[in-house]
Structure 1
Amino acid sequence: MIRFEDVDVIFGDHRAVSHLDLEIQEGEFFTLLGPSGCGKTTALRALAGFVQPTGGRIRIDGRDVTRVPSEKRDVGMVFQNYALFPSMNVRDNIAFGLSVQKGDQRLSKSEQAKRVDEIAERTGLASSQLDKNVSELSGGQQQRVAIARALVLTPRILLLDEPLSNLDAKLRVQLRDQLKQLQHEVGVTTVYVTHDQEEALTLSDRIAVLDAGRLQQVGTPEEIYDRSATAFVCRFIGESNRLTPGILHRLADAGVDPDAKSYVRPEKLLLASENDPQPAPASLAGRVVARTYHGSHSVYAVAIGDATLRVSVAAGSGARRWDVGDAVQVGVDPAWVLQYPVA
């Protein structure tokens, strides 16, 4: 449905987006993920029509929209700060786009009111809130108003620029789940920008990871996390242990390349006491030097020679616990070691 074809966006001497080739399918929840300054918001704004690409093309349903004005692209946009009108009540904020439509598209006042009521209910806004000034609402409620305002025009594409970043952690999780459910119910193709890896992994059908304006990898959350295509993606997504040359040489007999840049996720490692059977195809003897409790799991720091590996162990009935100073072995399955060429 959406195609970026060799898109460049250059501001002066700064190349914000570099040779971006990307396809987004209809009905997909697609996330642009990366650190600050990676080009994700610039790419989103280019799709919206707020930024003019320096080179390349953007297509929607095969139509070249690179030079098409934003209002003619059939997209709805939710900004990071919501961009609501503080002097208007909730109903008028939601209805704003409908009120400025012209010609055959313009609805009657009664039709506008009906559409606003429908989209307010769908986005979880109570009818009692519609006559309130938006300044009276909480951050979470304001976010719902911004989404309702974008969806009331029934756009084919919904664009969201870090819409949860201004909320506290608990509310972010709650609204994240509601946003995913809403997108599924409405079926609108959604392009979402965030720097939050957990948001991206839990919300997305597919993710594009960017760094310094360049696309690093596109894939499902599982592909991005378990089979990171580059060392940058591996380091940026979740936690990982960088394996030292000493550890790599000890794993060479298990098929691990000792000369590659290598990482392994903490939860992919297995922990056992020193006298237990070997827990994986390869085993490294070490000693527990720290333990941190996270509720659902504990993380053990295990010293192995001059290196320290972090091992995540799930909590639960019968879960074992090791103390600082305990001699242990860390089990490594070579299949879970992510390796990359040394630049």
Structure 2
Amino acid sequence: MAQIRLNHVTKSWGNFVGVDDFHLDIADEEFLVLLGPSGCGKTTTMRMIAGLEDPSGGEIWIGDREVTQLDPKDRDVAMVFQSYGLYPNMSVWENIRFPLKVRKVPESEHKDRVRRAAEMVELTQFLDRKPAALSGGQRQRVALARAIVREPQVFLMDEPLSNLDAKLRVSTRAQIKNLSHELKVTTIYVTHDQIEAMTLADRVVVMKAGVVQQVGTPTDIYDNPANTFVAGFIGSPAMNLMEGDLTDGTFRGENVEVTGLSGASGKVTLGFRAEDAQVAEAGQGAINAPVYSMELLGDATMVTVRAGGALVAVKAAKDYRAEIGAPVGIALPDDITHLFDATTGQRIS
């Protein structure tokens, strides 16, 4: 088990900066998720920790060793990739066992370690099969078992669920969550899926264009986004963001007027979560606009209107119904709104 320290790590190719001054301490046994859109630098960061990319600057420590210049094989990390990387000519048993052979682990230990790893991911009945005879979810579990059998200091997972269908993603995500609890190994997990980040992580690092935007627990990031990028990236749906003017504690924009706010006057962005607002009678809300769309979600009804130059979504009761084009009000309690600087996008405290 090991703490990881990234000490002002950078990676650039010529004038292009892929990762800019990444500085973070990752606690022993922590499950850290690197989250962001494609091209934000999250996979590059993980590859530098693995030793597959050389940093342009900074230091990487695993435990009490600086590993910046060490080969991947000397870092004692195990990786699980988006592509399963299984050997098609080998059985599941041999695929899981392969890292032990490469690392010259005594053969007397192989049987127990392979079986224990297979049990953890519920693969014991498939050990004699070849990868071609497995489903996508089973293949990903073989890749997980192959990493587990190594008993490394650190697990590195690069979008391991991306190739799975929606139902398999949910069940495999639960399995990874349970494994992290059982194994208690420091884990770094890369994803662009904010639901994976929110459900799996002890802490989330949100990245954009190589720069860390916010680090915090899933609750911190969801409830107190540092800027409009984080607010608009986290959540399903993302936080509603509306442009307008703040004057004497009142925010005004297209089809919206919210009173009782604090902050300096000027151009601001106001945000709120869909589940925190309520649908009201037409003309009775802070937002008053015609219904743009209505979506039935099963447990709720998503009502969308256009306000503040943006589409704004609100969760209503599952039996709520309204015609598209019908006028509707949306009530916004004062304590559920967030204000951001309209120019920089940074949160206004």
Q: TM-score, normalised by structure 2?
A: 0.88
How do residues 1-343 of structure 1 correspond to structure 2 at under 5 angstroms? Answer: 1-102=3-104, 106-108=105-107, 110-126=108-124, 128-238=125-235, 239-245=238-244, 248-249=251-252, 250-255=257-262, 259-274=267-282, 283-303=286-306, 308-315=311-318, 320-341=320-341, 342-343=343-344
Structure 1 residues 255 and 54, CA gap change in structure 2 (3 angstroms): same
Structure 1 residues 4 and 41, CA gap change in structure 2 (3 angstroms): same
**SS, match of residue 87 in structure 1:** coil
Deviates more, 1:320-329 or 1:261-270: 320-329
**SS, match of residue 233 in structure 1:** helix
Structure 1 residues 201 and 314, CA gap change in structure 2 (3 angstroms): farther
Q: CA deviation at 1:325?
A: 4.8
List gaps (5 residues or longer) in structure 1: none
Deviates more, 1:74-83 or 1:261-270: 261-270
Structure 2: distance between partners of 1:161 and 1:304: 38
Contact map agreement 1:243 1:264 (CA 8 A) in 2: no
Q: CA deviation at 1:171?
A: 0.8
Q: CA deviation at 1:242?
A: 2.1
Residues 233-285 of structure 1 show CA distances to partners (whole Å, capped at 9, x for unaligned) of 1112221222132793232544366522232222221112248xx7xxx7333
**SS, match of residue 287 in structure 2:** strand
**SS, match of residue 30 in structure 1:** strand
Structure 1: distance between partners of 2:117 and 2:230: 37
Give the letter aligned to residue 328 of structure 1: V
**SS, match of residue 18 in structure 1:** strand
- How many residue pairs are counted as aligned between the two chains? 330
Q: CA deviation at 1:12?
A: 3.0
Residues 151-187 of structure 1 show CA distances to partners (whole Å, capped at 9, x for unaligned) of 1011121110000001111111111111111111111
Structure 1: distance between partners of 2:59 and 2:308: 53
Q: CA deviation at 1:327?
A: 4.0
Structure 2: distance between partners of 1:289 and 1:101: 60
Q: TM-score, normalised by structure 1?
A: 0.89
Q: CA deviation at 1:308?
A: 4.9
Residues 65-107 of structure 1 show CA distances to partners (whole Å, capped at 9, x for unaligned) of 11122112121111110211112111111111111224xxx21
Deviates more, 1:257-266 or 1:160-169: 257-266
Structure 1 residues 188 and 314, CA gap change in structure 2 (3 angstroms): farther
Structure 1: distance between partners of 2:297 and 2:191: 25
Deviates more, 1:23-32 or 1:330-339: 330-339
**SS, match of residue 15 in structure 1:** strand
Percent identity between the two aligned chains = 42
Contact map agreement 2:244 2:269 (CA 8 A) in 1: no
Contact map agreement 1:3 1:23 (CA 8 A) in 2: yes
Contact map agreement 1:123 1:144 (CA 8 A) in 2: yes
**SS, match of residue 245 in structure 1:** strand
Contact map agreement 2:228 2:340 (CA 8 A) in 1: yes
**SS, match of residue 311 in structure 1:** strand
Structure 2: distance between partners of 1:291 and 1:49: 49
Structure 2: distance between partners of 1:148 and 1:266: 39
**SS, match of residue 292 in structure 1:** strand
Contact map agreement 2:244 2:270 (CA 8 A) in 1: no
Deviates more, 1:237-246 or 1:198-207: 237-246
Structure 1 residues 64 and 314, CA gap change in structure 2 (3 angstroms): farther
- Misfit runs of 4+, over 6 Å: none
